Homo-oligomer: A and B are copies of this chain.
Amino acid sequence: MALLHAAAAKWARAVVSDIPEALVVFTPSGKRGRFPVGTPLLQAARSLGVDIDSVCGGRGICGRCQILVAEGEFAKHGISSRADSLTPLSEPEMRYAKRQTLADGRRLSCSAKLLRDVVVDVPSSSQVHRQVVRKEADTRDIKLHPVIRLHYVDVQQPDMHDPSGDLRRLLDALEFEWRLSGLECDLSVLQILQPALRAGEWKVTVAVHAGKQIIAVWPGFHEKAYGMAVDVGSTTIAAHLCDLLSGELVAAAGLMNPQIRFGEDLMSRVSYSMMNPGGFVQMTSAVREALSALAAEVAASAGVTAQDILESTIVGNPIMHHLVLGIDPVELGGAPFALAVDQALTVSAKSLELNIHPNARIYLLPCIAGHVGADTAGMILAERPDLSAELTLLVDVGTNAEIVLGNRERMLACSSPTGPAFEGAQISCGQRAAPGAIERVRIDPTTLEPKYKIIGNEFWSDDPQFGTAEVTGVCGSGIIEVIAEMYLSGVINQDGVIDGALAKTSDRVVANGRTFAYVLRRGEVTLQITQNDVRAIQLGKAALYAGIRLLMEKLEVEKVDRIRLAGAFGSHIDVKYAMILGMIPDCDLSKVGSAGNAAGTGARIALLDSTSRTAIEDIVRRVEKIETAIEPRFQQHFVEAMAIPHKSAPYPNLRMAVTLPEPKDSAAQTATRGRRTRR
C-alpha cells in the first residue's frame, strides 16, 4: 500500500493540476467515482470503499486484487467500457502471469490504471469479505472475516541517525502501508524479527491477529494462512482445515476421542476424575495429543505443515471443553453443575500444548450452562435462529439432548437426560452405527413381517441382491424406526405395550419372560425388540419431548415453525419416524430437517468470520438457561410424553402424512397380559 499512498499523493497533485478524469463503476457493488487518468484501480476502489483483497499492498506480487473489465455499452452509466479503458498489461502483471497464470481478461487492479470511463467487475475471489458457500441445504453462506490477516511490508533499514529498534520500524511500516496502529508483538516473533528482516532484505510478511497482535513473521512474501475448526465430541473428534485467505475448506479428518479408555461416556470420565484426583490431567493430555495429531493430519492432506495453522476454534460439551483447557471437570459431575468458566476464551496454542504455530490463538466458543456447552453455542451459530421470525427448535441428541428454542425475539436452551438408548446402548440388540447395523425397518401391518436395511448395503433385506450380508445389531435410527413401525402395525399400543395376543397369530411376537418381544430377525444372530427396549426408548423420547415442551411452555407457544436435528443422530434419522414416536413436537414435515454436524459448522463459522464471535457471545449471554432438574413441570411433561406419540398432543401435521393407529383399549391388553402371566 506504500505504492498506493504514493499514487494517492500523485492523484492529489493531479486534482490540483487539472489532469483529465475518468469515471469508474465497480460491480457488483455499484460504487462509482471519477478519478484522474492514471489512477491505479485498486487505489480508486479503496477510496470508494470497494472491497478488494491485497496481501502485498499493491506490489503486483500476491495477485489477490484481480478484476475484469466489463466490456460493452452501459447505457445506465453512459459508459462504453472496453479492455483498453485501462493501461496495457504492465511489467508486474506479466511477471505475475508468468509465475501464477492470470486468467484471460483478468488484470491486477494495483497495476492497471484508469485511461477512460470503465465498468470493472470485482470477482468474489478478489474480495476480502467474500461469501463462503456452505454445502448444507437451507443455510446461509459464511461471510469471510478472518481474524488473521497477512500483510507484506517494506521496512525501513536501520540508520545510525535514527536508533529506533527493528520492531518500531516494522510497526511504522504497518501503520504507513496498512493503517494498522497500536499493534503489539509476541515475544517469539521479536526473537526472530532481526534475522527475518535481513533474510527478506527488509521485506517481510506478518500475520496480525484481530488487528492487534503480530503473531508471526516470515522473510519476503508469504501467503499461507490456515485455520482449524475442531469439534471435540466425547466419542469422536473432527477437524476441518480452512484456508484463511480464501475461506475454502481444504481438508477434514476425524478420530476417536482417546479419552474413551478412561470411560465410554461423559459421566464415566467425570467419575474417573472423581475416583482419581488429578486424573483429569491424563484425559487432558490424551485429548490434546489427539488435537495435535489431527492438526498434523489435516495439514498433511492439504500439503502444508501444522506450523501453517495460525488460528483454531474449538467447540465441545462442557466436560470436553474443560478437559481441553486443563480444568478438572469434577464440578460438572454433580449438582449444581458449576462451570469453571462460561464465557468464550482465547488462549494460545502453546498453553494448550497444541502443536500448530506456537503463537496461534485458540478461540473456544462460550458454554451456556453446566450441561449445555460450546457445542450447543456452535449449533446456534450454525443455524442462527435469532435471525428469523420463525420459531425454530434445534435439537442435538446424545446421552443428553441439548435443546434450543427461539427466534429473533427470545431464545431458550436446556439439556434433557435422554439416556443412551438413542445411541443403541441399553437396548438388548442395540449397537453403535457401523456396517452391519440395521438402520431402516418396515413392518407389514398385516403379516407383521419386517424388512430392513443395514449400514453398508443399499438393498432392503427382502431384495435378492441383499445377499448374505452379516447383520450385527440395530443402531439408533433403526431402533427409532422399528419401534415406530411396531406402533404403526399394532404390535405395540400407544402406551408401548407389546400386544401378547398377537403371539397367537404371528411367530414374530413371542413370549419373553413375563412380557413379550418382537422378533426382528432370526438367524445366526437373533434380534428381538423386548418390552424393556420399548420402555428404554419411551423413557428417552419422553425426556426429550418433556424438555422441548418445557421450553415451549416458557415461551408460551403451542407449536414450532421449524425443527433442525443436529449431530450424527440427526443426520441419519428419518424425521417422520422421530415424529411418529413423539420425540419431537408436531411440525410441517417439510420444515423438519437435519442440521448436519452443526456444532462443527459453528466452529468453522467462528474460524472464518470473526464478527460471528461477538455475535455468538451476545446470543449466549441473552439465552435463557433452563435447568430441567429443578423445573417441577418437567416431571409432569415427562410422564405425559411416555405415550406414542403423546397422550394429549394432537399432531395434526403428522396425521396428514401418516395414518396413526386408532387407540386400542389399554385395559383389554392389560387383561391379555394378565392372562398370560397366569398361564
Contact = CB atoms under 8 A, between A and B. Distances in A.
Contacts of A372: 163
Contact of A338 (B194, B331, B338): B194
Copies in the assembly, this chain = 2
A572 interface: no
A674 interface: no
Given A187-B325, A187-B326, A194-B331, A167 B341 contact: yes
Interface stretch (A84-92, A461-469, A623-631): A623-631
Given A194-B331, A194-B338, A325-B187, A370 B163 contact: yes
A197 B168 CA distance: 43
B331 A160 contact: no
Nearest to A329: B194
A158 interface: yes
Given A625-B163, A630-B160, A193 B339 contact: no
A471 interface: no
A187 to B, nearest CB: 5
A503 interface: no
A630 B163 CA distance: 12
A571 to B, nearest CB: 29
A160 B369 CA distance: 9
A159 B161 CA distance: 64
A167 B336 contact: no
A369 B336 CA distance: 58
Interface string A163-192: 111111000000000000000010110110
Contacts of A163: 336-339, 342, 368-370, 372, 625, 627
Interface in A137-169: 157-168
Interface in A297-324: none
A579 to B, nearest CB: 30
Nearest to A332: B194
Given A194-B328, A325-B191, A342 B158 contact: no
A114 interface: no
B328 A160 contact: no
Interface string A639-663: 0000000000000000000000000
A614 to B, nearest CB: 15
Contacts of A327: 190-191, 194
A74 to B, nearest CB: 52
A345 B167 CA distance: 12
A161 B627 contact: yes
A351 interface: yes
A339 B340 CA distance: 43
A252 to B, nearest CB: 28
A204 to B, nearest CB: 13
A339 to B, nearest CB: 4
A630 B159 CA distance: 11
Contacts of A369: 163
A195 interface: yes
A188 B343 CA distance: 16
A160 B629 contact: yes
B339 A166 contact: yes
A83 interface: no
Contact of A165 (B165, B185, B339, B629): B339
Query: In the complex, which of the residues A157, A158, A163, A185 has the most CB atoms of chain B within 10 Å of its own CB atom?
Result: A163
A247 B335 CA distance: 45
A286 interface: no
A368 B341 CA distance: 42
B165 A341 contact: yes
A367 interface: yes
A168 B367 CA distance: 12
A238 interface: no
A337 B167 CA distance: 14
B629 A325 contact: no
A625 to B, nearest CB: 5
A653 to B, nearest CB: 33
Nearest to A167: B341
Interface in A339-369: 339-343, 345, 347, 351, 367-369
Given A187-B351, A194-B338, A336-B159, A165 B326 contact: no
> Quick one: which of A158, A160, A630 has the most chain B CB within 10 A?
A160
A158 B372 CA distance: 16
Contact of A195 (B168, B328, B345): B328
B165 A340 contact: yes
Given A325-B187, A326-B187, A347-B187, A367 B160 contact: no
A468 to B, nearest CB: 52
Nearest to A280: B191
Contacts of A161: 627, 630
Contacts of A157: 336
11 contacts: A158-B337, A163-B337, A163-B372, A163-B625, A163-B627, A166-B331, A187-B345, A187-B347, A191-B328, A194-B327, A194-B340
Given A163-B337, A190-B325, 5 more contacts: A160-B336, A160-B337, A160-B630, A165-B343, A167-B343
